[in-house]
Amino acid sequence: ADHADRERTRARIAEVLARARRRTAVLTDSVDEADLVAQHSPLMSPLVWDLAHIGNQEELWLVRDVGGREPVRSDIDELYDAFKHARANRPALPLLNPEQARGYVGTVREKVFDVLESSPLLGNPLVDNGFAFGMIAQHEQQHDETMLATHQLRLGAPVLSAPPAPSARVPIGGEVVVPEGEFMMGTSADPWALDNERPAHPVYVEGFAIDVAPVTNEQYLAFIDDGGYERRELWSERGWAHRQEAGLVAPQFWEREGNQWYRRAFGVRTALRPRQPVVHVCWFEAEAYATWAGKRLPTEAEWEKAARFDPATGASRRYPWGEDEPSERTANLGQRHLEPAEVGAYPAGASATGVHQLIGDVWEWCSSGFEAYPGFRAFPYREYSEVFFGGDYRILRGGSFGTDEVACRGTFRNWDHPIRRQIFAGFRLARDLREDER
Ligand code: AVJ
Ligand code: FE
């Protein structure tokens, strides 16, 4: 049984690595050389940097560390160290050109498959259950999502295409009550969970109400039409200062013509789909909307309890719908579509507490900052999570249409600065219970 388990893990690793590479190829082969080396926004790296960085991380962890092999290119580590050069400065570096970068990631990958064949996948924490391979597949997919955001910022003719995301299957709306009490947050069991998701620990949460669906374009439009961007009292001090300085008047990529709003996505302009979750709003916009609606953002613990807690058993699930891997029936993930699905499109993906579309569609801003769980241990490197704890970040949960399932689960934690909106982020609302609801 042990042997069979190990071979299943090996096959799964090969599959997730191959899937990540197919996606990386779509994102980097669909544009020309000039586009690959261009900087489409000072917030983003040139796509060719992400490409070689993916290969370099894979070389560092799997070829050199796990495999104990000779370096492929020890001379370029510094160029692709995300902490050495800010994104804005990366285009000026002596980077590998597109052909060299493709050759490099290909060579690294061949060696990785060789390492995978011979690894016992046990014996130390880095390789137990294939952890380092899973980490690297997640790393590539995270950069693929970042590259997808670069594509969204890129001007010019569209190069990516996908079928439209599904329409609503069931009418949903309103809120559900999640009962007060302890639940198990985080995980110690998930073999590929990253350090910041660990360990599992009990958290007491007061009873709260949470929206069944993320806030939609139609709802967000009502906030705009009600003067949401002009009413100082709806914004926090920092939020208002940012709204003024950045000249925010609508979500990023929204365009108005007369009375009609449009959304530009991946080079294509379409009329807003009213029932689609709003995307490309920063945390401050989410905060102002919540104030306008008389509610608030959920804390990270509330979000995870709504997603994972099963009142019938008291246990925490891996995904809202249970333990099964995501599928086309349960969540809009993996860049299958280039937009969020309408709310009500995934009834099979609802949580035990009756909350829909927590996984996929849009990352959801939470009120919490990014902090270590009690008992946290940095693994395998401090720069993945630890150096960001306590910084000016807000938590994002649940993944977007651009997140691959390998990098998404009920415990997965993402974070970004509260002013960021090039990411595929939206939000849903929560509130405290009134006396008579407790
Ligand atoms: C966890 C998504 C914030 O993309 O900056 C990629 C993931 N860490 N390479 C990021 C990551 C190192 C990280 N986020
Ligand atoms: Fe990285």
pLDDT in tens, the chain (438 residues): 588 999 999 999 999 999 999 999 999 999 999 999 999 999 999 999 999 999 999 999 999 999 999 999 999 999 999 999 998 898 889 999 999 999 999 999 999 999 999 999 999 999 999 999 999 999 999 999 999 999 999 999 999 999 999 999 999 999 999 999 999 999 999 999 999 999 999 999 999 999 999 999 999 999 999 999 999 999 999 999 999 999 999 999 999 999 899 999 999 999 999 999 999 999 999 999 999 999 999 999 999 999 999 999 999 999 999 999 999 999 999 999 999 999 999 999 999 999 999 999 999 999 999 999 999 999 999 999 999 999 999 999 999 999 999 999 999 999 999 999 999 999 999 999 999 998
In this prediction, residue 1 carries a pLDDT of 59
Whether 142 lines ligand 1, by a CB cut-off of 6 Å, is yes
Q: Which residue has a Cα nearest atom 7 of ligand 1?
A: 142
Residue 88 carries which DSSP code?
G
Cα 382 to ligand 1 centroid, rounded to whole Å = 13
- Ligand 2: centre distance to CA 145 (Å): 11
Go through the chain and tell me how many residues it has. 438
Cα 339 to ligand 1 centroid, rounded to whole Å? 21
User: Going by DSSP bridges, is the β-strand pair 394-397/414-416 parallel, antiparallel, or unpaired?
Assistant: antiparallel
The pTM of this model reads 0.98
Q: In this predicted structure, what is the pLDDT of residue 35?
A: 96
| Strand, helix or coil for residue 313 | coil
Interface predicted TM-score of the whole assembly (ipTM), two decimals? 0.99
The rounded Å distance from CA 42 to ligand 2 centre is: 17
CA of 367 to the centre of ligand 1 (A): 20
Binding site membership of 57 for ligand 1 (Cβ less than 6 Å): no
> What residue type is 347 in one-letter code?
P
Nearest CA residue ID for atom 10, ligand 1: 142
Whole-angstrom Cα distance, residue 219 to residue 418?
21
Is any ligand 1 atom within 6 A of the Cβ of residue 422? no
Dihedral (C-alpha) 373, 376, 378, 382: value to the nearest 10 degrees? 40
Distance, in Å, from the CA atom of 134 to the CA atom of 382, rounded to the nearest integer, reads 18
Q: Which two tokens stand for residue 403?
A: 């997140």
* CA atoms of 200 and 303, how far apart (whole Å): 16
Ligand 1 atom closest to Cα of residue 416: 3
Residue nearest to atom 12 of ligand 1 (CA): 384
Q: Is 139 in the pocket of ligand 1 (CB under 6 A)?
A: yes
| 24 C-beta neighbours (distance < 10 Å), count | 22
What does the block give as tokens for 396?
């994002």
Q: What's the CA gap between 361 and 398, in Å, rounded?
A: 8
pLDDT for 2: 86
In angstroms, what is the span from residue 95 Cα to ligand 2's centroid?
16
Distance 209 CA to ligand 2 centre (A): 36
Res 248: pLDDT: 98
User: Does 146 contact ligand 1 (Cβ within 6 A)?
Assistant: yes
Q: What is the rounded distance in angstroms from the CA atom of residue 38 to the CA atom of residue 322?
A: 43
